[in-house]
Structure 1
Amino acid sequence: MGSLFEELEAREATARTRVEELEAELAEVSGRLSAAREGLERLRIARETVAEVLAEMTPEKPGAAVDTDRSSPVDSAASAYAGPSGGSSGC
């Protein structure tokens, strides 16, 4: 029965190696995900800042109503980066 225990030990060593490889891969992917989230947040802030600046630069015509329910062209152009909800990811 010694060979059965040797086989189990070999399988355990293989499984342990695979777990260590996956943990290293997870750490790498987690780092890339964090960097991508930071980039997304910077783009969201940039979009909001540009929208604010454009709103301040655009002279309002007397008697013209501002439609606050509609997204501005800047909002809709950048919404592809903001995800399906058009807002932040909540992270």
Structure 2
Amino acid sequence: MGLLFEELEAREAAARVRVEELEAELVSVSGKLELAREGLERLRITRETVAEVQAAMTRGGRWRPSMPGGRLLVSRGRRRTRGASGRSSGC
């Protein structure tokens, strides 16, 4: 009976080590997944913004983002940004 419990303890110890290894791997993969999700979100926002700007340029109008703090004025191939103060800075 003693050998049986020794074998169970050895298997339990091995299982514990494997769980710890997988938990460490999970932390690593979770971090990589979060970075990939952030990159995907930035690309999605960029694609939407470019589509909005392109549509405004095609119409010859102005593009104003929905985000507070500034807007992008598009005219004749030149781009200027306007901050909250209303002053423009050429690009």
Same structural fold, with TM-score higher than 0.5 when normalized by the shorter chain = yes
* Rg (Cα) greater in structure: 2
**Structure 2 residue 57 is matched with structure 1 residue 57:** yes
> What is the identity, as a one-letter code, of the residue corresponding to 2:31?
G
> 1:44 & 1:12 partners in 2: Cα distance?
47
Higher relative contact order (CA 8 A, sep 6+): 1
Query: Which ranges in structure 1 are unaligned for 5 or more consecutive residues?
Result: 61-91
The structure with the greater share of residues assigned to helix is 1
After TM superposition, the runs of 4+ consecutive aligned structure 1 residues lying more than 6 A away are none
For 1:41, the equivalent position in structure 2 comes to 41
Q: Deviations over 1:57-77 (max 9, x none)?
A: 1137xxxxxxxxxxxxxxxxx
TM-score of the pair, normalised by structure 2: 0.62
> 1:7 & 1:34 partners in 2: Cα distance?
40
The structure with the greater share of residues assigned to strand is 2
What is the percentage of aligned positions where both structures have the same residue? Answer: 78
